[in-house]
Chain A
Amino acid sequence: MCRLSAIVSNEYFSPMENIMALETMKEGHDGSGLGMILRDLGGEFEKLKGFPILSGICTNDGIKTLDEYMVKVGFKTKHLWTPEISLKPGMNIKKRDFYFARAYEYPQWALEKDQATRDNLLLETRLALREIGLQGQSMHIFSFWPDLITLKEVGDPLEVGEFFGLDKKPVLAKKILAQGRQNTNYAINLYACHPFFIEGFCTMTNGENTAFVPIREFLTSRDYPGYVGYQSDSEVFAHILHYIRDHLGFPLKYYKDVITPLFDREMEERHDRPAIELIKKVLRPLTIDGPNCVIGIDRDGTSFMVQDAKKLRPGAVGGVPGKFALMSEVCGLDAAIPDRDTSKDVFPMKYDMVMIEDDVKEIKIWNQKHGSMSTVSYQ
């Protein structure tokens, strides 16, 4: 089963911390890939917060196509980051031509428009490039969003981290999701590699999604251009998050009520019972049937962990005020933040949704059954 490693902090840190945590969880992944999403970037990106960053991989031909397209749309390159590739003997990684994260200036016309129009432009551009890139596999485009970079490659996570030179010259960030992949029933494909991104929302998941097909059909029939892909059955978790937050405007905690609704008999303590009863019916096709643990970051910067009742071994969340880790295994948590009060660790059960807000001050636990929010005190 895939291993998940998320670290959030109010100070910049290296993605190698996530990778080293994955290394301790190695029993659970088979080195079939590493995916990372870095948010709230530091270093050379610290002063580029407002500029959308395109992350991807191109062939030498693909980069020309990409440049032509971006010029045509009116994007101007602001800054280019490429990893310092270090392909050592013995590494089981096939190097591709051009890995990049490139910050752009918006086209002039877009600057005069509202945020929603600009967001839509980023989505359309990403999807168009992705589509063009599918021809001859000339481009893999993972994300296009301000202050966010995605890195993905097939191979052992530690090797991939070293391959990207992150051990020597890391890209620093305050929130990083990383997944060590155990490829299961789908072909090894970079687009199947977690974490998944859509318009500022990111999730990664372990476990198979047995309700994948009806969920995919529901999302693709929403007539929304971003709901495409699905090389992995887990991509739907990111899109469900986007759908309920961006499209329906639900508060984040209702993600839990949508993907793992309560039985009617369990709703007694909920003040919003009429609303969740209706949601359960109307969004019935978005119910997951697990076993899944989902870790993600909302567009507003809140990171969270949630799982369904069939997930027999819960993930673990813990840390110290200012730095927390959300891991699929407790050994990953130990690796990421060893000096913490382990008695404060949270192992979310079937009714729980753990949330850490953008300021990374504390862990909040939303209990779906009781309808209550509690906070882990580190006083």
Chain B
Amino acid sequence: MESKTRLDVNGQLSVKDLPYIIHWNPDKCTRCGKCTAVCPNQAIEPGVFVSRLVSSEGSLPMPATVRTTFHGIRQVTDIERYCVGCAMCSLVCPNDAIYPEYNPANKFLIHKNKGGVPHKRGGRRNDPSLSTLDRLKFTRISMLTDPALDAGRHEFHIRTLLGRNLSPDQLPLTVKDEELFLDETVFVPPVREIFPIRIGGMSFGALSPNMWEGLTMGVAYLNEVEKIPVVMCTGEGGMPPRLLKSRFLKYFILQIASGYFGWDEIIHAIPHMKEDPAAIEIKYGQGAKPGDGGLLMAFKVLDLIAKVRGVPTKVDLASPPTHQTKYSIEEAVAKMITSMSMAFGFRVPVYPKISGTKTALAVLNNLARNPFASALTIDGEDGGTGAAYNVSMDKMGHPIASNLRECYLNLVKIGKQNELPLFAAGGVGKRGNLAANAAALIMLGASGVDIGKYIMQAAAGCLGDEYNRCNLCNVGRCPKGITTQNPRLYRRLDPDLVAERVVDVFKAADSELKKIFAPMGRSTQLPIGMSDGLSVDDKAIAERLQIDYAC
């Protein structure tokens, strides 16, 4: 039967179209209003509801229907104010009255292009399937003639080298009276010994001051107290001048990208630097959004960020997709590496970072011929970002495992596997298996790995996941205070607690790496390229990675 009121719903969506559906329990709700206050996307709001109540008064049963109104929480169905599933409402609710639930039948991407603007967000690739890294197993267990080591008691040396190693044929050594002497007049490229898990480039700007402070304190503590030489990359955007001139600079890799943001401050600080930075990373690409430049949305360009980057406040800061002053890979890489090396007196390793791509080999071969290229970082498709088009994140890029393996085997082919270290990034620790993923990549040929999302989640409780949860990094409304410049949001994050968790993460990873390497009989050197240690339960993957198939 047709209602007497019109049922036209032109252009309207229902909650079933949205990625997350709010479940609210009116009986538990105390109407405190915390959930609506905390919601970063204004996806819930106070609402008025009608309730039908059957009651009877008097001595005889005389049921009567009474309609009353009450106040509650209503989910907004405006596509711009969709529930992002962050569950901050659940976190602040004093009475467990509200939570969002993922709606696998959502039609979000079909509708999220209002005004002809494609969906943009932060976060990572929305693909919750098992990655290749999580399918790899360590199957070469030392037994009998080669007893497994005791991870708790044996001495392990879990370190890697960042920097260009000379070819053995270039060793500037002479023999005199059965002793080797180093000819110190010959240039030996700088090489750093570091922990094989690094914190990848996340800029001061993309991250809040509190998050940055927490990460840097954690890194400094790991180095100075725990003696675990963890290094962290700044991302594009420079770093606070005080830190640039501090003795802690040696724990940081300064990143230069196509916008050169922050480099005015860095160049001016060089004469005042007490220490050299750990390395210089030249960012040519990013796994999460290959081919895209960097982007810091105007919301996040507040005073401090503008000052560090040398730009006006509240303007979008877009780095071009490529380094505009350069023409080709050869030119870009060679000139950039040379000028950066020269700026730091050839005392600092300089290397490029590219996004995972089928053409990685071309870059690699170019670097292999450049004696000043110190390493190559390849960032796979599962990497994260603070802001990008959804289509770039979900559909662009190359998985890291085969990309890294292919590059390593190519280095083996030309005999330079120890000369040019490869670092792998993108999806390391995606499912929480940080040490296992890192060890697997190392055995495939990586000298080390970078983490980004993992440390944000572990150290600061980032809410993002592969189900499009939260992902508001781009709009400066991070409900955890990690990727925002809004003081009311980032004061939610205690830098000391972040630092504490950073230390926890690396100490735990150090222990877990030992638990992986000990049964495989490895302790003296990082088992880079020890591919006989790995197996996978898929023949096609095994063939592609040139490892064993085991089932």
Contact = CB atoms under 8 A, between A and B. Distances in A.
Nearest to A312: B147
A250 B175 contact: yes
Given A182-B145, A251-B175, A284 B418 contact: yes
A207 interface: yes
Contacts of B161: 281, 284
Interface stretch (A8-16, A66-74, A213-221): A213-221
A274 B529 contact: no
A263 interface: yes
Contacts of A275: 173, 179-182
A254 B412 contact: no
Contacts of B179: 251, 271-272, 275
Contact of A308 (B524, B529, B532): B524
B408 to A, nearest CB: 9
A136 interface: no
A284 B521 CA distance: 17
A208 interface: yes
B25 interface: no
Contacts of B374: none
Contacts of B180: 250-251, 254, 272, 275-276, 279
Contacts of B521: 208, 210, 289-291, 310
B182 to A, nearest CB: 4
B525 A278 contact: no
A213 B532 contact: yes
Interface residues of B, number: 45
A208 B533 CA distance: 14
B333 to A, nearest CB: 23
* Chain A binding surface, main DSSP class: loop
B549 to A, nearest CB: 16
A283 B168 CA distance: 7
Nearest to A244: B168
B175 A1 contact: no
A275 B175 CA distance: 10
A349 B380 CA distance: 45
Contacts of A251: 175, 178-180
Contacts of A250: 173, 175, 180
B529 A214 contact: yes
A308 B525 CA distance: 13
A221 B530 contact: no
Contacts of B175: 249-251
Given A1-B145, A213-B531, A221 B524 contact: no
Interface string A257-301: 000110110000001101110110111110111110000000000
B191 A287 contact: no
B142 interface: yes
Interface in A177-216: 182, 184, 206-208, 210-214
Contact of A279 (B171, B178, B417): B171
Given A1-B145, A221-B412, A250-B175, A210 B522 contact: yes
A88 interface: no
A282 B166 contact: yes
A253 B415 CA distance: 25
A213 B167 CA distance: 20
Contacts of B188: 278
B231 interface: no
A116 interface: no
B527 interface: yes
A326 B193 CA distance: 37
Given A275-B180, A309-B524, 20 more contacts: A184-B144, A207-B146, A210-B140, A210-B530, A213-B532, A214-B528, A248-B168, A260-B524, A263-B157, A271-B179, A272-B180, A278-B173, A278-B182, A281-B161, A282-B168, A282-B171, A284-B165, A284-B418, A285-B417, A285-B528
Interface of B: 140, 142, 144-147, 149, 154-155, 157, 161, 165-168, 171, 173, 175, 178-182, 184, 188, 191, 193, 412-415, 417-418, 520-525, 527-532
12 contacts: A182-B145, A184-B144, A207-B145, A208-B145, A208-B146, A211-B522, A251-B179, A274-B184, A281-B161, A282-B166, A289-B524, A310-B154
Rank and list the top 6 A-B pairs by shortest CB-CB distance, nearest first: A208-B146, A221-B415, A210-B521, A275-B180, A274-B182, A214-B529
